[in-house]
Chains A and B, each alone.
Chain A
Amino acid sequence: DVKVTQSSRYLVKRTGEKVFLECVQDMDHENMFWYRQDPGLGLRLIYFSYDVKMKEKGDIPEGYSVSREKKERFSLILESASTNQTSMYLCASSWDTSGQPQHFGDGTRLSIL
């Protein structure tokens, strides 16, 4: 089975901190995604990557950056955390070229105080 692992289930940080969310997949998938999920809004795409060192902005990239130095790892970076970035963050991966996430991690619930 494909496994997408997010390093933290719960994370609490302070306003202004630089925050790193890590995601690792074990199936050699080309594509990786970062979403945030908020009540009443559905999932929203922050960034995605279709290859090592490649990245594309999603629908809400402001305040975030990403890093993909190795194929299996995709990191989401909050440059200067703000309270409106409190959310559930979901990482996903896929092997095909459809641009659709196939396998999700279990999420990181991030609270910014």
Chain B
Amino acid sequence: KNQVEQSPQSLIILEGKNCTLQCNYTVSPFSNLRWYKQDTGRGPVSLTIMTFSENTKSNGRYTATLDADTKQSSLHITASQLSDSASYICVVKRLGNEKLTFGTGTRLTIIP
């Protein structure tokens, strides 16, 4: 069964600290992986999308990595800010049938 597992479920860190969110998947064959940020009461916003050949991609203070061999991705947030408080959702697309599998997200809280 194609699955996407995210960890941790929730995370609380101090403002200014770094953190890393994990996404492990079993979706096969793999097409791409996308990270979304979802603020409370808002729709998800795409942060980055990674294809099979990409290992690292940055978007400001957000850096996503992908290891297609181990089927793992991470999202690293540098120098966290209060506005980073949100849910982060990992989505993997299966090659061929275009099907998307969503993770249940990591709830990140930044405290001053």
Q: List residues 44-76 of chain B with CB under 8 A from any CB of chain A.
A: 44-46
Which of B41, B93, B102 meets A44, CB within 8 Å? Answer: B102
Interface residues on B, range: 10 to 19
Report the bound CA distance from A6 to B103 in whole Å: 24
Interface residues on A, range: 10 to 19
Q: List residues 73-99 of chain B with CB under 8 A from any CB of chain A.
A: 89, 91, 93, 98
Bitwise, A37-60 to B at CB < 8 A (1) or not (0) is: 000111111000000000000000
B98–A98 CB distance below 8 A: yes
The interface residues of chain A lying within 8 Å CB-to-CB of B32 are 98, 100
A98–B93 CB distance below 8 A: yes
A42–B46 CB distance below 8 A: no
A42–B102 CB distance below 8 A: yes
Which of A41, A98, A100, A107 meets B104, CB within 8 Å? Answer: A41
- Interface membership of B19, Cβ < 8 A: no
B43–A90 CB distance below 8 A: yes
- Interface membership of A79, Cβ < 8 A: no
Q: Which residues of A contact B (CB under 8 A)?
A: 4, 40-45, 90, 92, 98-100, 102, 104-107
Q: Which residues of B contact A (CB under 8 A)?
A: 4, 32, 34, 41-46, 89, 91, 93, 98, 100, 102-105
A-B CB contact pairs (8 Å), 9 listed: A40-B104, A42-B102, A42-B103, A42-B104, A43-B89, A90-B44, A92-B43, A104-B44, A106-B41
